[in-house]
Amino acid sequence: MAEEKVLTDKQIRTARYAKAMGHPVRMYVLDLLSNQSCCYSGDLSDELPIAKSTLSQHLKELKDAGLIQGEIEAPRVKYCINKENWQEAQHLFREFLKI
Amino acid sequence: MAEEKVLTDKQIRTARYAKAMGHPVRMYVLDLLSNQSCCYSGDLSDELPIAKSTLSQHLKELKDAGLIQGEIEAPRVKYCINKENWQEAQHLFREFLKI
DNA sequence: ATATTTGTTCGTAATTTTACGAACAAATAC
DNA sequence: GTATTTGTTCGTAAAATTACGAACAAATAT
């Protein structure tokens, strides 16, 4: 028998994205990356008043949530939006918020 | 001199709402309340596989974030969407996600 | 080869989140 | 009155989050 699912996959995935968006620094990064194609983490590090290790942690969370992706361009790292998942997030939030 | 603000108020407020949405149980509640006018926490407690004290905590977080509001209808409590803030969240996310 | 640049990982600490059951408060039911 | 229903608050514990500096790795520059 299939289990009674109370929480839908949609709710779980939307919550996952929302959680990743749930910090001002990560909102800043997503705002930037959704408005321009890419950025280097050095650019972020210069702007944001946090330790580079902390920034790296936030970027990792965004990567783990699937919202961004990093590409090594030695010795730097170029970050971009993960378009596929960003689109999914747009769909999920549009449905959820009915906008 | 005005301080250099790196993080905008919009980013901070959007992150605040996102954080509140960042748990499956809270997404479930918001999903329900944005689709119907109100509900009693007993209805939620019956559906969701969590302790009632845990549910109460989640409801409090949604209240603290401003997304819902509770009204005592003794001996029960009726919860509704906080329409004003829900609208603000809709605007913020629409702008952020460009949808 | 050595130094510099860039960013991650490690180790650590403080705080927050998530969860539960027990205790409690307030109203209704008997 | 006492019992029941409903939901919050309290106490507690485990896990996750946020933050920092130091150490490290990898490539480039000198």
Mutate to test the interface with A, among B8, B21, B81 (most CBs of A within 10 A): B21
Residue nearest the C1' of C5 (CA based): A75
A49 upstream amide cis, omega within 30 of 0: no
Instruction: Look at residue A99 in the predicted model and tell me its pLDDT.
Output: 87
The alpha carbon dihedral of A41, A85, A19, B16 has a sign of positive
Residue A59 has pLDDT above 70, yes or no: yes
Tell me if chain A has a CB within 8 Å of the CB of B38: no
CATH architecture of A9-97: Orthogonal Bundle (1.10)
Write down the pLDDT at residue A85: 98
The CB density around residue B31, as the number of other CB atoms within 10 Å, is 18
- Structural domain spans, chain A: 9-97
Residue B20: strand, helix, or coil: helix
- pLDDT at B1 (0 to 100): 57
Full pLDDT tens readout for chain B, 99 residues: 565 689 999 999 999 999 999 999 999 999 999 998 899 999 999 999 999 999 999 999 999 999 999 999 878 999 999 999 999 999 999 999 998
Mean pLDDT of the region A77-97: 97
Q: Which two tokens stand for residue A50?
A: 């946090």
Phi, psi (degrees; rounded to nearest 5) at B42 = -60, -40
Q: Under DSSP, is residue A22 helix (H, G, I), strand (E, B) or coil?
A: coil
Which tens digit of pLDDT belongs to each residue from A6-42? 999 999 999 999 999 999 999 999 999 999 889 999 9
pLDDT at site A4: 64
Q: Å from B66 to nearest chain A CA?
A: 15
The DSSP call for residue A34 is: H
Say whether pLDDT at A49 is over 80: yes
User: Within its chain, how far is the Cα of B30 from the centroid?
Assistant: 6
Q: Nearest nucleotide to A45 by CA–C1' distance? A: C7
Q: Is the pLDDT of residue A78 over 80?
A: yes
Nucleotide C28's nearest residue (CA vs C1') is B75
Gap between the Cα atoms of A26 and A28, Å rounded: 5
